[in-house]
Amino acid sequence: MNKKICLCFLAYLCLFGSKLYGQVASSTTTGDTRVTAPSSLVIHGEIISKTPVDTVTAVFWEHYVDSKKGITKTETIPVATEKGNVFSGTMGSRGFCIKTPSFSGMAYLSLRYPGGTLWKRFHITAGDTVRTIIDLDRAAMLFSGPDAESYRVQYQLAMEELLAKKRTVPVMFTANREAFLQNDGYDAAYKKAASLSKTGLYPLMRFVEGPEDKYELIKTLLPEGQVSVSENRLEEYRDKIPQLLHGVLRADLTAKRLNRLLDSFNRYMDGGEKYKSLYGERILPLTEIAFADEVVANSSDYTDLLLLRSLIISRMERKSPESLFENYAPPVRDYLTVKFMARYHRQFEDVNERFAQAEEKVQAEWIKHVLANMASSMNTGKPFLDVALEDIDGEEVHLNELRGKAVFIDFWFTGCKACVLYHENQMEPLMERFKNDDRVVFVSINTDQSKKVWKRSLESGKYTSQTALNLHLGDMGNKLLEYYRIQSFPVQMMLDSSGNVFRSGLQRKSVGDMSALLRKAKNPSW
């Protein structure tokens, strides 16, 4: 009898052990357990809506660097929804099932439908399984299944972040508040907003009119030490979700709380004694790294914060940002390096050398690959990509036909205020300097989808001059934007007389500096 009991008990242990092992092998759990092999996330979804939703799309990032497209590889997974099943209790809704590619540890995923975004870059863990019920009619989202808590907390934090943003006082920078409000409709709209603010439900815009106002704005953004609603909410899940995910979400919240402060400080600090004092006493202590390397490497928001912190230290203490990255462990240093290069490489004179140095320093192979791809499209000295653009008459134009001349290219789109200012303050004075030089050509490339809109903008004279070679991207132009990773505007490039890329990202250069570069571009061998 005892022998039978023992055999049964051993069989039970084997069965229980195999189930337990299967869970550990395929997912990251609370505690120190780690994924032993790559696995997928499986999402079982159900959408309730009066207007049927026929498709759902998941966007998967195994690694995430920046919101700009093309920097890191994404997998787009479109799935057709199916009518609900009476036997599963899903009648009246439409269901779907999404399985991501296999990955290890943590990754990112957005879930979208034709009407908008359901999950915005959620942290996902290899091996997770979750069911999500999305009621579009009631604007509600529910979660169930073995890993439901990991996704429920992220949805709740996203909702609270949205509410916090709606409570944030908007800021307007202007040289003269009264003059600004005299514009058509602004005064009436401001009075209405002021009336609504008295209810306590709406914030009222704060005007910042000068250096002292900027300084006071930064001081008001300094946290007072109180715990936010989101941080309290996250604490409720401490023992319900994996420890790593809990740490990453804490890091995300910390970054979002401090990012506006650091961004404002970085934009408006003038090097004066007040800013130096604030920097040493309040800014630096706030942003000292407070999380484990594994947590930081999985929080894109927090590495953004550390990058911003490094840029501020670089300006205040006259050190290169790259030298400051050396203070961090390899996983964090790698992320800071690739983020820095992705955002600022267009400002470098020695772009080829900087990419080579960055590739040499990073350890992660996927980051080396990202840097190599960016470098291959941006390296100076390489021929400009040959694509067919369209002129005002619809004729094809290839910029390689301009060899023998230095070419200054300005990319813009209709409605871009920065593009208007750049044309007025940079392009027009620069073109005036070279108006009698037939070895310099100014090319204006419009990125509007509508050619009619482009032509109307040409007539306005706000974005470009009639003396420039005005071109539209046309049918093949998007290939040009993708190849050179152009996603924000205005963007400029300069080609030398051999048709090679000479400089890229010139918007912050003075007219004098650009004039000197154009003269070199005419004779690149000088």
**pLDDT tens for residues 271-281?**
788 999 999 98
Structure tokens at 34: 């780690």
> What is residue 379's predicted lDDT score, i.e. its pLDDT?
63
Cα–Cα distance for residue pair 497/489, rounded to 1 Å: 25
Cα–Cα distance for residue pair 459/189, rounded to 1 Å: 31
Mean pLDDT, all residues of the chain:
86
> What is residue 232's predicted lDDT score, i.e. its pLDDT?
92
Residues 170 and 205: beta-carbon distance below 8 Å? yes
Cα–Cα distance for residue pair 503/382, rounded to 1 Å: 11
> What is residue 66's predicted lDDT score, i.e. its pLDDT?
84
**pLDDT single digits (tens) 352-368:** 788 889 999 999 999 99
Percent of the chain with pLDDT over 90: 56
> What is residue 177's predicted lDDT score, i.e. its pLDDT?
87
**pLDDT single digits (tens) 425-466:** 999 999 999 999 999 999 999 999 889 999 999 999 899 998
**pLDDT single digits (tens) 22-78:** 333 333 344 344 445 899 999 999 999 999 999 999 999 999 998 766 678 889 999
Cα–Cα distance for residue pair 130/44, rounded to 1 Å: 6
Residues 157 and 254: beta-carbon distance below 8 Å? no
Confidence band, pLDDT 50/70/90 cuts, at residue 144:
very high
Is residue 16's pLDDT more than 90?
Answer: no
| Section 493-511 average pLDDT | 83
Q: CB neighbours of 160 closer than 8 A, spacing ≥ 6?
A: 229, 230, 233
As a whole number of angstroms, the longest Cα–Cα distance in the chain is: 107
Is residue 505's pLDDT more than 80?
Answer: no
**pLDDT single digits (tens) 227-250:** 678 999 999 999 999 999 999 999
| Section 400-413 average pLDDT | 92
> What is residue 329's predicted lDDT score, i.e. its pLDDT?
93
Residues 132 and 46: beta-carbon distance below 8 Å? yes
Q: For strand 55-61 and strand 389-390, is the pairing parallel, antiparallel, or unpaired?
A: unpaired
> What is residue 67's predicted lDDT score, i.e. its pLDDT?
77
